[in-house]
Amino acid sequence: MQTITKPTIKTPAHAQWDEDMLTSWQETKGIIASILYRHNKHSETEDVHQDTFLRAHENLHSYNPSKGTFKTWIKTIAYHQALDHITAARRQAARTATLPETTELAGHNTLETEAFAYEQALITYAELSHIIALLTQALGSPVPVHHTVNLLLTTETHNVATIASELGLSKSALYKTQQRVLMYAQTIAKALDMHFHRLEQSMRNPQQYQPIYMHEVVSCLPQAPVNSAPHFSHEVTLAVLEAGHVENLDLQALADAQGWSLPYTRRCVRETTMLFAAALAIIERGQLS
């Protein structure tokens, strides 16, 4: 049986911790680790976990059982403690990055606003860089991502032709590249969210096996815009499920049913297979390999 050790502090008579309360605190480590992992601060999990105990202990007198369980109460504290830890680190980084001459010229409120904006940018940077790294790996090259960024930053339609020309692509090829990149980005982002959720669950219950279900992987595949036909990946998935395996798929029958050409159908099946494999790998490991 695992021994739970709490921080050494003086405990007043009205704020005693029983074993169930200590267990609930111990289980918050999974929530904390999941949040810090997203921001490349997983190594600081133990510190935040200890801070969570101290914060909960200081406010133990305020816990009201009539408003919810102790487990829910301390989970909420752990969640906010982890976010506060990240915010404090980002704010310090933002202040460190502020130039001395700017500090002398700008007012206090201006500096705080700039620091906050910089802090928020840093918070999302780790997640974005992780997605871009996986995206580049999935596509086999950073070039499609570069092309898509150029297109997404275009605010005027007539500039698309110019950008395509500068990149050595036709407008059609540029748009197709964008669609493929966004398709993979959507799949990767959803799969990563699922991976982090599973990571949190496994840390709460390390002995409990967590299978990955088909519907979880399929839910990561691209979604079509509202009021439009389903994304081709979902049509292919349904056909594969009906056939039992992708190797048993009747490409001509699928093409006829969807009104697709045979070459396009082959591309759709190949792309769906790759998207599915990417989603499965990321859900399971957080990486493609």
- Please report, for the chain, the start and end positions of each structural domain, with discontinuous segments joined by +: 13-138, 141-285
Locate tokens 């029958």: which residue?
253
Within 10 A of 253 (CB to CB), how many other CB atoms are there? 12
Query: What is the rounded distance in angstroms from the CA atom of residue 82 to the CA atom of residue 100?
Result: 30
Q: In whole angstroms, how far apart are CA 258 and each of 50, 60, 289?
A: 57, 61, 33
Highest mean pLDDT: which of 127-141, 227-241, 246-260?
246-260
Query: What is the rounded distance in angstroms from the CA atom of residue 18 to the CA atom of residue 6?
Result: 11
Task: Report percent pLDDT > 90 for the chain.
Answer: 21
Listed range (9-23, 49-63, 105-119, 130-144) with the worst mean pLDDT: 105-119
Query: What is the rounded distance in angstroms from the CA atom of residue 87 to the CA atom of residue 89?
Result: 5
Locate tokens 């980002």: which residue?
90
How distant is the alpha carbon of residue 181 from its chain centre? 17
pLDDT of residue 98: 47
Residue 274 reports pLDDT greater than 90: yes
pTM of the model: 0.56
Listed range (108-117, 121-130, 185-194, 231-240) with the worst mean pLDDT: 108-117
